[in-house]
Amino acid sequence: MNDNPSPQKGLGDSEHLKALGYENSFHRSMGLWANFALGFTYLSPLVGVYSLFALALSTGGPPSIFWLIIVGTGQLLVALVFGEVVSQYPIAGGIYPWTRRLWGKRYAWMAAWVYVWAMIVTITAVAEFGTGFLASLINAPVTNEVTLGLSVLFLVVAFGLNFSGTKTLGRVARIGLAAELVGVVGLGLYLLIFQRKQEFSVFFDTMGVQGDGSYVAAFLGAALAGLFLFYGFEACGDVAEEVENPARGIPRAMILTILVGGVSALFSFGGYVLAAPDLQAIVTGKDIDPIPAILDASLGTVGAKIFLVVALTAFLSCVLSLQAAASRLLFSFARDGMIPGHAWLSRVSPRTAVPVNALIVACTIPLLLCLLIYVGGSTLLARITAFAVIGIYVAFQAVVLAALRQRLKGWRPAGPFNLGRFGFVVNVVALAYGIFAMVLLARPGATGVFLDDWIVLIGLAVVMGTGLLYLFIAKPHSASHQPEGDAIAVAAMLRAHPDNARSTSDTD
């Protein structure tokens, strides 16, 4: 039961935004399903499972599938916290405005700095990984030049679709959602029912991955199977000012993203395991790219080609959603005058109502990173993307920690989506989960090569170190005068708003 009074139907989207200190800059043309599709295609279980399947099995064996349940549950708690925050603050940009209003502008600057670099690197990585599917479809050799050219194609096409407006973004996201569901749920069920070569008990068989040591260590090493998969739901909040009734709809879209994404990933991962013709070769690491062989054996040549088209649609939708989320974060950052070139970056196209200059940046920097990877080789891709996931988790937990801090000071979230008396417990457990996840991600490797073993922490240290230096030397926050740390005051103001008061009295 919700024991806190909260805004009801009376406070409209524009009035809610105006009460928070902003005017409408976008077209509210995105409904619940388009918003959910945006988050789902960013999370992209097809991309995540394909990228991590071989690594998870060779590290933790078939039981590594249980990380999907563990991480999915933890991230659902984080999504519930985010839902309460975005319901009170339905502002474009997500992580940045939430941390600013929950804590302060310097704290928000660092959270956004880490998050935007993590997203930009992730855009680069997804575009690079998608080139393998496109090369296979057109029978192109996988050379460095082909990879660079196809990566650029992914980025430019996604930019063009994003540039055309929010309606196009929503349409393509829904197409991507359908492709994802066919590619993960449909294919997963087909493999489970018609192509099963293993017994279900295999998910409790370690198949000797622990060697002479403890399986606990091997299982913890396979945590990446879930940790690399379950984010993207926050993108639903990045476009809050383009969504109809965001205070109610976005929390639902976030929860749907986690639940549907988790079930889809389980079907996909489980289907590949049960349909693998030589599971032992995957577990021992002899087969480092097993999914194409599983698809060929299960679907035939034509079926595998059809799956490539579905997968390409999912990859393109993922890049599209990532670009959209990154551009809205940059726009929100710039609108408050927090970064160099803020006047240029905060410009919104009068024709398409999208932050076109922020979109240009969200496409150009990944293009430059692709060129850098072309020069430095595929090893560089692994190194520069290693910090991305821990960077995203750090940014997520910055919101969770800031929300808990405000609760301890007396904040009762005032949005329509409200956990009531359970909010504090959910917030504490979400923070504990986040700390546990970051410890797993930060654990050094055991290759004996210093850079490879410590690359996650090195990458995070470089990004946070440069951010802190810029923050204290240039003081980008000093010229920004938008509200900060006002969660308690805003909650009281929203509850006292005349429209809310009338709506509440009408329902008494």
Query: What percent of the chain has a predicted confidence (pLDDT) above 90?
Result: 45
How high is the pLDDT of residue 503? 45
Write phi, then psi, for 29 (nearest 5 degrees): -115, 10
Is the pLDDT score of 101 beyond 50?
yes
Between these two residues, 377 and 414, which has the higher pLDDT value? 414
Q: Which long-range contacts (CB under 8 A, 24 or more apart) does 343-348 make?
A: 348/25, 348/26
Residue 52 in tokens? 């991590």
pLDDT tens-digit series, residues 232-243: 899 899 888 889
Torsion of CA 191, 76, 319, 346, to 10 degrees: 170
Is the pLDDT score of 213 beyond 80?
yes
pLDDT tens-digit series, residues 154-205: 999 999 998 988 888 888 888 888 888 888 888 989 998 999 999 999 999 9
Q: CB neighbours of 192 closer than 8 A, spacing ≥ 6? A: 267, 270, 271, 274, 275
Is the pLDDT score of 221 beyond 50?
yes
Separation of alpha carbons 238 and 423, rounded Å: 22
How high is the pLDDT of residue 439? 92
How high is the pLDDT of residue 506? 42
b/e per residue 171-189 (b: at least 16 CB within 10 A): ebbbbbbbbbbbbbbbbbe
pLDDT tens-digit series, residues 466-482: 999 989 998 888 877 88
Between these two residues, 280 and 143, which has the higher pLDDT value? 280
b/e per residue 22-31 (b: at least 16 CB within 10 A): beebbebbbb
Q: How confident is the model at residue 6 (pLDDT cuts 50, 70, 90)?
A: very low
How high is the pLDDT of residue 420? 92
Q: Alpha helices, DSSP H only, in 336-449? A: 342-345, 356-376, 378-408, 423-442
Q: What angle do CA 150, 152, 158 make, to 5 degrees?
A: 105
Q: What is the mean pLDDT of residues 277-296?
A: 89
- Residue 300 has a CB neighbour count (10 Å cut-off) of 11
Q: Could you give the C-alpha distances from 482 to 13, 97, 104, 155, 396, in angstroms and in order?
A: 20, 10, 10, 33, 22
Separation of alpha carbons 86 and 402, rounded Å: 13
Q: What is the mean pLDDT of residues 7-31?
A: 77
How high is the pLDDT of residue 352? 83
Q: How far apart are the first and last CA of the chain?
A: 17
How high is the pLDDT of residue 10? 54
Is the pLDDT score of 206 beyond 90?
yes
Between these two residues, 340 and 425, which has the higher pLDDT value? 425
